[in-house]
Amino acid sequence: MKGYRRPDGRFGIRNHVLILSTVGCANMMVRKIAAQVPGAVALENSKGCGQVGSGREIMRRCLFNLTLNPNVYGTLVVGLGCETTKPYELADEIRQVSDKPLEVITIQDCGGSVRALERGVEIAQKLVEDASKVEREPMELGDLLLGTNCGGSDATSGLAANPVIGVVSDKVVAAGGTVMLGETTELIGTEDILASRAATPEVADDIYTIVHGLEQSFVEAGVDVRGANPSPGNMKGGLSTLEEKALGGISKGGTTPITQVVPYGVRPTESGLTIMDTPGYDIESVSGMTCGGAQVLIFSTGRGTPIGNPLIPVIKVTGNCETYARMSDNIDFDASGAVEGTSTIAELGESLYQMLEDVCDGAEPAAERLGFDDFSIFHNQEVWCTCIP
Amino acid sequence: MAKRALLMADADDVATVIEAVCAGDTVAVETKQGEAVEELASAHDIPRFHKIALRDMAAHDIVHKYGQVIGEATAPIKRGDYVHIHNIESIKTGVER
């Protein structure tokens, strides 16, 4: 396979110019800039100001790490100018660790939106022009960070789609690459199995910390996780309990030892099978893995979903032949042969791996082809007046 | 013609029906490798990809699938019964009972 070599030695499988908003007040501006510059991708930010504590911390590191995603050639950071994200400071910090092209403007410093748009388009056009000169070079499977996610699961996800993804995960890990499991809500009930597969006692501790910590926060909030998980669609699809859903879910990580647990939006420093502490909400989970450096993601769905991502291709796999037939415009790979008894998990894993190679080499999975650019950063710890119920 | 059901691990208490089952239908349970395990009569209509009980269970008995715990019975369950949210629930509720 071939990819775009970045200054840090990593390989992108796409060559995006990122127009990154640091605050909601600059969202319209990044949209307008990207609309005038084919080849530029706008990423909006639902927050970026008025945030404190871990919420601010998560937001900032996600913006930071997005610019480092190997699929990004270079970034134009666009701020309003007075937000807590501090766009110039953010850009300076990124420049200390990255030699990728990085520019920054604020609407206030440009002197209003008309001039900011003009300046932004000018910079973005130059970035796209420079990006187009990057040649694709040979890269190894071991250069990949493959994200995985489930969404709209049904019972076939655990019977077929996830074990088939697991075959691909094992191949990537065997080649020296990195695979990422997430969705901590959907690890509940599997923590003992995962911890027994941890590469070190510290990793086992981290697995228990994120799962028990999440359970504890449900208890403290007095909420019953069963209210949201399994979802109504999961139940209709034959999943009765959170544990059943989770046991089916973790098989997409394959069978190798778990080498690291990373916080939301953080890129792993270890290769092998890793876990990112992400929420169960698909868009936030996939977005977190994008911040964490995934170049591509394989997504299993029993009931069908169009979800994609602006920076990384999302390959959709279902184990449900009816869903595949009904939502063929959104789903790339039919793993139902493993349920129907017409093919084996190993055979299907091999063909899904071929599809992954094709996508790395430029083939567009459904979500990318149709332009699904769903993106949302998880931000916890909202502090706000709750005096009036 | 018996309806197919998949057994995910040897000691599982439930199997997943691969075709919709009507009460009274014969269900043929097989492993992932396609080896026939047993046949039983279904006591209920069971939607496609939902679960059938392979043995009798009492309320509060632990229910296994994938060779692991998926929850506990909330009512007595007979072999051949439909198993879903009406008769099993998560042990990991998030709220201490």
pLDDT tens track for A55-112: 889 999 999 999 999 999 999 999 999 999 999 999 999 999 999 999 999 999 999 9
Residue A355 buriedness (CB in 10 A; 0-12 / 13-18 / 19+): middle
Among all residues of chain B, which has the CA nearest to that of A158?
B66
CB-CB neighbours of A182 under 10 Å? 31
Report pLDDT digits (tens) over A185-224.
999 989 999 999 999 999 999 999 999 999 888 888 888 7
CB B89 within 8 A of CB A189: no
Among all residues of chain B, which has the CA nearest to that of A227?
B93
| Residues sharing a CB contact under 8 Å with residue A215, sequence separation 6 or more, in sequence order | A188, A225, B92, B94
Domain layout of chain B by residue ranges: 3-89
Is the bond into A230 cis (omega within 30 degrees of 0)? yes
In the predicted model, is pLDDT for residue A383 greater than 60?
Answer: no
- pLDDT score of A52: 83
* Helix and strand element counts for chain A (H, E): 16, 14
Report pLDDT digits (tens) over A2-44.
999 999 999 999 999 999 999 999 999 999 999 999 999 999 9
CA A161 to chain centre: 19
| Residues sharing a CB contact under 8 Å with residue B21, sequence separation 6 or more, in sequence order | B3, B27, B42, B44, B45, B46, B52
**pLDDT grade, residue A388 (50/70/90)?**
low
The tokens describing A333, both together, are: 């790979």
- pLDDT score of B94: 47
- Tell me yes or no: is domain B3-89 CATH 3.40.50.1820: no
Residue numbers in B near A247 (CB within 8 A): 65-66, 68, 70
Dihedral of alpha carbons A340, A344, A347, A349, sign: positive
In the predicted model, is pLDDT for residue B9 greater than 50?
Answer: yes
Task: Report the C-alpha gap between A318 and A308 in whole angstroms.
Answer: 15
Residue recorded with tokens 């599809």: A355
Residue numbers in B near A222 (CB within 8 A): 95
What pairing do the DSSP bridges indicate for beta strands A72-79 and B68-73?
Answer: unpaired
Asked whether the beta carbons of residue B8 and residue A340 sit closer than 8 angstroms, the reply is no
Among all residues of chain A, which has the CA nearest to that of B68?
A247
In the predicted model, is pLDDT for residue A156 greater than 80?
Answer: yes
Min Cα distance B37 → chain A (Å) is 15
Task: Report the C-alpha gap between A28 and A21 in whole angstroms.
Answer: 9
Selection from A245, A298, A253, A287 nearest residue A272 by Cα: A253
In the predicted model, is pLDDT for residue A292 greater than 90?
Answer: yes
| Residues sharing a CB contact under 8 Å with residue A286, sequence separation 6 or more, in sequence order | A147, A149, A297, A299, A307, A309, A312, A314, A374
CB-CB neighbours of A384 under 10 Å? 6
- pLDDT score of A384: 53
